[in-house]
């Protein structure tokens, strides 16, 4: 979590308010106890979040859901599918360090790819790094569209082609799926 100290500080303040309002409620007015209850619930939720239990609980539910076939029955085929859930090595981030590390890794990969020398296109004064994906004409052909189709037609054609070629289907192919994905990215990037 990025704002760990701030959340801890707010949780401490809410905890102190809960204790003070509880004492005032007992001594002066029982109606104040309702307010103390609200602050107590907020304090508990913050503690639950800061301890990491909330993220672990959410992650466990996602894994449990991914292990079923949509009707609540456990998968017996050993396969995943669309929305199969997160990979086992994933760990929920605890603070902003994980996000910054991931950003540095992504930037390093981009620099290495640029150093290897991908095709470069220039648009005005700005240079744009472009991978060796299909040309727009090839992309329209892969999606069985006529050149110049609008974005909604591209999305619809992409969805239909993905249903046919996805690796988790019986007639699917990972290579063809990647080609369709690249065609879609080419047409939606421009």
Tens-digit pLDDT profile for residues 51-102: 888 888 888 887 777 766 556 566 555 555 555 555 555 555 555 666 667 6
In the chain, at which residue ranges do the beta strands (DSSP E only) sit?
Answer: 120-123, 126-129
More confident residue, 26 or 50: 26
The predicted pLDDT at position 123 comes to: 45
**Lowest-confidence segment of 10-19, 24-33, 100-109 by average pLDDT:** 100-109
Q: Does residue 90 form part of some domain?
A: no
* C-alpha to C-alpha distances, 152 to 110, 149, 174, 187, nearest whole angstrom: 30, 8, 25, 11
155 and 171 co-located in one domain: yes
**Lowest-confidence segment of 45-54, 109-118, 138-147 by average pLDDT:** 109-118
Structural domain boundaries, residue 15: 4-51
The predicted pLDDT at position 16 comes to: 93
More confident residue, 166 or 73: 166
**Lowest-confidence segment of 16-30, 119-133, 139-153 by average pLDDT:** 119-133
The predicted pLDDT at position 19 comes to: 93
**What is the rounded distance in angstroms from the CA atom of residue 154 to the CA atom of residue 187?**
8
Retrieve residue 168's tokens: 């988790």
More confident residue, 125 or 186: 186
pLDDT digits (tens, 9 = 90+) for 115-136: 765 544 444 444 444 556 788 8
pLDDT mean across residues, the chain: 76
**What is the rounded distance in angstroms from the CA atom of residue 121 to the CA atom of residue 127?**
6
* C-alpha to C-alpha distances, 175 to 125, 165, 166, 181, nearest whole angstrom: 36, 9, 9, 10
Q: Does residue 8 form part of some domain?
A: yes
Domain end, chosen from 107, 129, 151, is at: 129
Say what the pTM is.
0.35
Q: Contact 43/18 with Cβ under 8 angstroms?
A: yes
Residue identified by tokens 């360090």 is 97
141 and 116 co-located in one domain: no
**Lowest-confidence segment of 98-102, 133-137, 167-171, 176-180 by average pLDDT:** 98-102
The predicted pLDDT at position 146 comes to: 86
**What is the rounded distance in angstroms from the CA atom of residue 37 to the CA atom of residue 21?**
9
Q: Contact 190/154 with Cβ under 8 angstroms?
A: no
**What is the rounded distance in angstroms from the CA atom of residue 158 to the CA atom of residue 180?**
7
142 and 176 co-located in one domain: yes
Confidence of residue 23 (pLDDT cuts 50, 70, 90): very high
In 23-149, at which residue ranges do the beta strands (DSSP E only) sit?
Answer: 120-123, 126-129
Retrieve residue 133's tokens: 């994906």
Count of structural domains within the chain: 3
* Overall average pLDDT of the 17-44 stretch: 90
């Amino acid at each position: 979590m990025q704002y760990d100290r701030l959340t801890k500080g707010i949780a401490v303040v809410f905890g102190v308010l809960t204790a003070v309002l509880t004492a005032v409620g007992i001594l002066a007015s029982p109606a104040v106890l309702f307010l103390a209850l609200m602050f107590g619930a907020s304090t508990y939720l913050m503690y639950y979040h800061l301890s990491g239990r909330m993220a672990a609980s959410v992650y466990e539910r996602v894994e449990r859901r991914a292990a079923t076939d949509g009707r609540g029955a456990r998968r017996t085929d050993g396969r995943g599918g669309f929305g199969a859930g997160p990979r086992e090595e994933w760990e929920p981030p605890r603070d902003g360090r994980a996000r910054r590390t991931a950003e540095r890794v992504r930037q390093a990969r981009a620099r290495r790819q640029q150093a290897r020398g991908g095709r470069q296109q220039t648009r005005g004064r700005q240079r744009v790094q472009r991978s060796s994906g299909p040309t727009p004409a090839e992309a329209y052909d892969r999606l069985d569209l006529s050149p110049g189709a609008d974005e909604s037609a591209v999305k619809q054609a992409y969805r239909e082609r993905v249903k046919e070629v996805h690796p988790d289907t019986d007639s699917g192919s990972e290579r063809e799926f990647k080609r369709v994905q690249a065609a879609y990215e080419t047409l939606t990037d421009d």
